[in-house]
Structure 1
Amino acid sequence: MLEEDAKSLFIDWLEKHKASVVQVARAYTLGSEESQDLAQEILLQAWHSLPRFRGQASPATWFYRVALHTAMNWRRNDQRRRTCQQPLLEVQTIPSEAIDSAEHAEQRETLKQLYEAIHQLPKSDVALVLLYLDELSYREMASVLGISESNVGVRLNRAKKTLSQLLNVEVAEG
Structure 2
Amino acid sequence: MTEEQQSQIFQEWLNEHKGILFKVIRSFAQSAEDQEDLFQEISVQLWRSVPKFKAESKVSTWIYRLALNQAIKWSTKEQRRPAEEHKEEFSRLLYQQAPADNSRLNWLYEQIHELEQTDRSICLMMFDGFSYKEIGEVVGISENYVGVKVNRIKEKLTAMSKKLN
TM-score, with length taken from structure 2? 0.77
Higher share in helix: 2
2-structure distance, mates of 1:71, 1:43:
11
1:121 matched to 2:112? The reply is: no
1:166 matched to 2:160? The reply is: yes
Identity of aligned residues (%): 38
Cα deviation 1:3-57 (Å, max 9, x = unaligned): 2222212211121101110111011112123212211210101111223222211
Q: Kindly report structure 1 stretches of 4+ aligned residues shifted beyond 3 Å.
A: 91-94
Query: Retained in 1: the 8 A contact 2:111–2:157?
Result: yes
Counterpart in the other structure of 1:5: 5
Counterpart selection for 2:146 from 120, 145, 152: 152
In the alignment, structure 1 segments of 5+ residues that lack a partner are 80-90, 95-106, 170-174
2-structure distance, mates of 1:55, 1:168:
43
Whichever of the two has the greater Rg, that structure is 1
CA RMSD of aligned residues (A): 2.2
Q: 1:31-42 residue pairs with structure 2 within 5 A?
A: 31-42=31-42
Query: Retained in 1: the 8 A contact 2:23–2:124?
Result: yes
Counterpart selection for 1:136 from 123, 130, 152: 130
Query: Retained in 1: the 8 A contact 2:9–2:50?
Result: no
The amino acid across from 2:4 in the alignment is E
Give the drift of 1:78: 5.6
1:19 matched to 2:14? The reply is: no
The amino acid across from 2:149 in the alignment is R
2-structure distance, mates of 1:42, 1:114:
22
Q: Return the structure number with greater relative CO, CA threshold 8 A, min gap 6.
A: 2
1-structure distance, mates of 2:20, 2:73:
17
